[in-house]
Structure 1
Amino acid sequence: AYDGTKSLFTHLQAAGYRTALQNKQHVGPKATFPYETISGADDLTKTEAFIRRDPAQPWFLVFASNDPHSPWTRGPKYDPAKLTVPPYLHDNAVTREMLAAHYGEISQHDQQVGALLKLLDETNQADNTLVMWVSEQGNSFPYGGKWSVYDNGIRVATAVRWPGKIKPGSTSAALMEYVDVAPTFLAAAGVDPEKIDTGCPDADGRRGFDGRSFLDVLTGKSDALREVVFSQHTTVGIIGYQQPYPMRAARDGRYKLIRNLAPDNVYSIGGIHKGQPLQSWQEDAKSDPQLAARIDWLFHRPGEELYDLQNDPYEMKNLADDPALAKVKARLNRELAAWMAQQGDRGMETETAAKSRQGNGKEGGKPAKPKRARGEKTSD
């Protein structure tokens, strides 16, 4: 974060909350994120102590699990032969083995969530606690996932529980963004997010949140929040990247436009291109021209992609050159350009400047070879 930016922790502390983050930490600078640190994810002794410390003071806890981050070594063992492989992945033995391990670690995380909910029951806090579970991103398989703006990377799972406020079993198709989470928690805490000064102005000089509270959606007072949502991905600083490959996307209820701002560059991420699944796919592609073309797409993509998510949820058929959708593409391009301008996003200039804002630690600063970890090469 930029110096002077105030985080959700800052705003909730100002509202009288004590705040903490448990386990994985991936933020900075410390002044922006003034939380207590609770180590570990499997032992909830310190978690319980934090919750019980002062019954009169409200609290906010972010439980940041490492599961199901690769390498996938925890959880129950599933039979690879019995899995259904998503159509955007090449179906072979390596894919199935890795997918089974991934699902096992998801189950391990599910046990963690269950333990946390049980702790709320045991401390008599369940009925007065808003619990929001979200997955950070998609997995680290090729095509989509955590290093993309395809839906299997950015349409993340979310579940929310708030007894007496949110109807159990209810669902919503409302379009939301991660930036909407902070104002939602503040609204739930009785703080008006519209009056918050974030400490970081946008290109228009506004110092408020980019996000909007979706509390009314959660409580059933509204069924919509946004007409269009936006996403972006930068490769600069990711372990094993070779060339800048910025992606920007605008998505409405049916269509998604993706702009690859440097289509002449080669898309390369260590966690994908040096990983076991893709290497096995490349071997299979020697006798499979259709798979070979699919793999080539992973490295080289056009400047624009357009998908009909209603008929093509896995984004397999690019419709950017379809004349029948020219107006749709133009509309989403206008929406995306306006959003980038409001964010101060200057495309390739912003992408290449990202390196100057990254340290020389384990995440950024310069291209690096991915580290091997228990059989799987990983990156954030």
Structure 2
Amino acid sequence: YESWYVGKWHTSGRPTSRGFNDVAGLFSSGGGKFWKEGQRDWKNFPITGYRGWIFQSADGKQKYPEMGVGVTPDISEKFADAAITLLERKPDKPWFCCVNFTAPHDPLFIPPGLGGKYKNEDMPVPENFLPEHPFDHGNFSGRDEALLDWPRTKEAVQDLLRVYYAVIDDMDAQIGRILETLEKTGQLKNTIVIFSSDHGMGCGSHGLRGKQSQYEHTINVPFVIAGPGIEPGSKSDAQIYLRELYPTTCDLVGAEIPGAVTAKSFAPVLRGETDKHHADIFGYFTDTQRMVRTDDGWKLIHYPKAERWQLFDLNTDPHELKNLADDPAMAEKRKSIAAKLAAWQKETGDPILEKTE
């Protein structure tokens, strides 16, 4: 395979030392000397994300400050432009292209042509909006939470969503340009297209601004896939992990899955052979949050440092508004799900296991 990388690189090494043959539009740290202090985002907040990040060559020796330093309003377009140059090569060998957008990570800016499209008064406030989370969930002092004033107000959340939606709208349009290129070059019908993302921001849900929580609005991430062997328009409630994408993509294209890979392919779900994958999935954040969600719609969250538990029936309470953890009628349900969480913690060697019930 030809393997190409485009966009944000936020891991160790370089793409070319991690299995990629070539890069385009590579965006990473290392441009500190080009950064101008005092820059602010759409709301006039000081910029704290991607300071000094810059477009650069594969080896990082060449920097391109003329393309912008840090996130710019048109950065999604630049990533799409780079991806298109690679796709237009149409190599004889099969190819893999990873395009990593920064959107809608902060700092946020209104993209070109979208000013005024989204208006504050039209933005729906989350059904689980709160002015403040009822307790410190483990990240009250985090950078993301500082990007929205306490207490949260509906007006401030609507203003945030206005820009958040515009940034997503722009990214969607740029992905559309990439798909159009695949179609124009005759490659679309023989290409598997996968879209997913990082965890979404709280944007006022449960009183949170950031993504460091175990609630559905954050722990769930988008996953859309299309291509040969996948029924158009099909949907699945199967529980999967994004880290399982590697064996899954290998499975879909008939490549051998290396023996060292422990993640489980969910290709059978995509092919319609089953509607189940994991009976239970688990989540965590630092030493402050642990979560288990069952495939029959129950979720238990433990906050070891805050000494709090939350139990939600997602079947009847999808927005997680009613905590059933202390309901005597739910004592056995909580106990049985907590046992699953404890077993997983023991199996994975969780260092906070001794602090759980």
The TM-score normalised by the length of structure 1 is: 0.66
Instruction: Indicate yes or no: 2:224 matched with 1:159.
Output: yes
- Counterpart amino acid of 2:212? W
Using CA pairs under 8 Å that are at least 6 residues apart, name the structure with larger relative contact order, 1 or 2. 1
From 90, 98, 110, the equivalent of 2:172 is 110
AA aligned opposite 1:42:
E
Amino acid at match of 1:59: W
CA contact (8 A) 1:261 1:348 kept: no
SS at match of 2:77: coil
- Provide the aligned C-alpha RMSD in A: 2.4
Match of 1:214 among 259, 266, 269: 266
Q: 2:264 aligns to what SS in structure 1?
A: coil
Aligned partners of 1:185 and 1:248: how far apart in 2?
29
Contact preservation (8 Å) 2:6, 2:82: no
Name the residue aligned to 1:86.
126
SS of equivalent to 1:39: strand
Which stretch shows the higher mean deviation, 101-110 or 73-82? Answer: 73-82
Q: Is the 8 A contact 2:84 2:178 kept in 1?
A: no
Secondary structure class of the residue paired with 1:249: strand
Q: Which of these residues, 124, 127, 138, is aligned with residue 189 of structure 2?
A: 127
**Other-structure match for 1:251:** 293
Corresponding position of 2:238? 174
Larger CA deviation: 306-315 vs 42-51 = 42-51
Q: 1:87 to 1:192 in 2, by over 3 A?
A: same
- What is the aligned partner in structure 2 of residue 343 from structure 1? 348
C-alpha deviation, 1:141, in angstroms = 2.7
Work out the CA distance in 2 between the residues paired with 1:99 and 1:48: 29
Quick check: 2:297–2:313 contact (8 Å CA) kept in 1? yes
Residue 318 of structure 1, aligned match among 317, 323, 329? 323
Asked if residue 33 in structure 1 is aligned to residue 33 in structure 2, the reply is no
What aligned pairs does 1:266-281 form with structure 2 within 5 A after superposition? none
Q: Where does 1:14-29 land on structure 2 (aligned, <5 Å)? A: 17-29=1-13
Q: Which has the higher helix share?
A: 1
In the TM superposition, residue 21 of structure 1 has moved relative to its aligned partner by 2.1
Which amino acid counterpart does residue 289 of structure 2 have in structure 1?
M
Rounded Cα–Cα distance in structure 1 between residues aligned with 2:344 and 2:162 = 39
Equivalenced residue count is 273
Q: CA offset at residue 54 of structure 1?
A: 6.0
1:150 is aligned to 215
Residue number among 232, 239, 248 corresponding to 1:184 in the alignment: 248
TM-score normalised by L of structure 2: 0.70
- Work out whether residues 125 and 154 of structure 2, in 8 Å CA contact, stay in contact via their aligned partners in 1: no
Which residue in the other structure is 1:42 paired with?
Answer: 77
Matched residues in 1 for 2:17 and 2:274: separation? 32
Which whole-Å CA distance do the structure 2 matches of 1:348 and 1:136 have between them?
A: 27
Measured in 2, the distance between the counterparts of 1:87 and 1:175 equals 24
